[in-house]
A and B are shown apart, each in its own frame.
Chain A
Amino acid sequence: MIPSPAEMLTDLATRITSHLGPALYSNFSQADAGLISTLMTVLAQDYERAVSNRILDIEEMCEIFTKCPEQAPAANQRKAFAKQTPKSLHLVDVTDLHRQGFEILIDLHAWSEGSPQDVIQQSINRDIWALLRRHSERNKFELPIN
């Protein structure tokens, strides 16, 4: 068993950059090696956090969905979603539930923009933007360009 797959991927990415890349003959191959190394770094960063990040998103969506008034869209789907758990903790199953949550969230977000004077809608709107902010921050990749 590899004790830390993320660390392993990072080490391999570094190896590509420091050893294989410079030894390649063409600029095209060197650039390819650089891209592969960067993608392995990205994989390493996502490896540890992917399931956890999606679960956090799902939990935060559940909070918003249960806070919504009855007249907000997709009432039945919201209730059903809040009761669900992923079929397993495999990434594919967690991602599937996350997808369902994001689909409901998009409809809810559109609804929350409907009446700028409605206090509840505005509150839900702020909550959704805050969730999206946290979602994007925790999925951010630590790369030179980011």
Chain B
Amino acid sequence: MKVVLPDKNIKTIDFTSVSIEQILLDLGINPLEVIVSRNGTLVSEDMIVGNDDEIQIIRIAHGG
């Protein structure tokens, strides 16, 4: 599974299936501080994703 991190670096993780929330926690990211898309579509963090998916993590800028 390809994961695009908030700094645009790409990480490849080998999973059969896992929740997005668990991916974030394993990466040390608080799910409340980011928005996540799966294959370009916004999804809720309790969604289970598979190895063929591409996940993008967008950090929410503070202020404004």
Do A and B assemble together?
no
| Residues of A near any B CB (own CB < 8 A) | none
